[in-house]
Structure 1
């Protein structure tokens, strides 16, 4: 089966409530390609390697979390930007990107999908635009148990700042580069906070507040939302879907 690019764009903007978010770049269609659309590839970031893999797969549409265009970037089409655009345009490959709306979606989003893999169920939100999730710790009673579950689910060891070793009652999480929300997670009542990245201040905050902090990898924590969204589109529109996960240590 196949469908139109415009139909998919309109459907996704409504499904992900795009207009309700203030984001760092455009959500939806970023590069226009051929019609109709019947073969879909998903991945985390619109890197040259992913674009080349999607072209080799015969995709009509590439759907990513991290697109090409961001607020404040140099607008010249040179270097790496030229290389990526050149390959998209030569193959007439449609590029769609959804950033914060994909983080936030209650079922298909990065936070929801990561929580599902860790056995966490959110009963609240926190942070800017309510992107962060928080819920009961369940059977993850210690920071060590949480770190072990993360390592098993993501197939990579996380960085654990253990805090004061308190029993975990509530766990907060927000995928990607949300280390700056550690204080908001603490204020929301978290005993542990999980995100993708860590910066220098988080080590001090974990020691001084006693709240554990886990950095599990930006890419690693954001692999699952776009994959779930692609599977949803494939089922709804009868598309052939392939998810391509290119290794990224960050």
Structure 2
């Protein structure tokens, strides 16, 4: 068992104060503790997105601390919580769950983030930030990869078929990985094409 506040402090230290500070500036979604539950934590549940089904399963498995990429989204329409948001909140408060979300931080962390992990699993090395506020990275392979090999690696990593349009058979050495905040504007597209 661990104290809730000690666990939160450890997670914040692992992510780093600079990245947490940047997240406050660039992301409107949660990057930190949102709802504090029990003071003593015996089991942690990890999930991509907070939803009712996940919370029910976490409670069933006796978790009392939940960490998400997409935490609780408190945005409302005309200050009214939807029925689904109310159900999630009831589950959280009834079971005294701690809810922690790390949106930008889990996309932008250079060692443990989603994009960094994808790059490592593809066998490339990060060489710089992609575009914008740091949602993704540019990486290089030691040796050029065929598009088919890259597609197959992605299918294995993501555990599903990859849709692709292989219009060029030229091997790839430099890639960009952006798993979140990935919709570029015209200016960003021009910069990407130059790289």
Alignment TM class, shorter chain as reference:
0.7 to 0.9
Q: Is the 8 A contact 1:33 1:92 kept in 2?
A: yes
Q: Structure 1: any 5+ residue segments left out of the alignment?
A: 190-250
The superposition leaves residues 65-123 of structure 1 with CA deviations (integer Å, 9 ceiling, x where unpaired) of 001126x5434233110111111111111110000011111111111111122212111
- Structure with the bigger percentage of strand: 2
- The 5 Å alignment of 1:72-221 reads 73-74=76-77, 75-139=79-143, 141-180=145-184, 183=189, 186-187=192-193, 189=195
Alignment pair present for 1:38 and 2:42: yes
The answer for the alignment partner of 2:20 in structure 1 is 18
Q: Distance in 1 between matches of 2:167 and 2:176?
A: 14
Identify which of structures 1 and 2 has the higher relative contact order when contacts are C-alpha pairs closer than 8 Å and 6+ apart. Answer: 1
Does the CA contact (< 8 Å) of 1:140 and 1:146 recur in 2? no
Query: Counterpart of 1:237?
Result: none
Normalising by structure 1, what TM-score?
Answer: 0.68
SS at match of 1:30: strand
**1:26, 1:47 → 2: CA distance?**
15
Q: Unpaired runs of 5+ in structure 2? A: none
CA distance in 2, matches of 1:108, 1:184: 29
Q: Is the 8 A contact 1:13 1:19 kept in 2?
A: no
Answer yes or no: is the 8 Å Cα contact 1:126–1:185 preserved in 2.
no
d(CA) in 2 for partners of 1:25, 1:86: 21
Change (3 A) 1:64 1:166: same
Q: Secondary structure at the match of 1:122?
A: strand
Q: How many residues align?
A: 187
What is the TM-score normalised by the length of structure 2?
Answer: 0.85
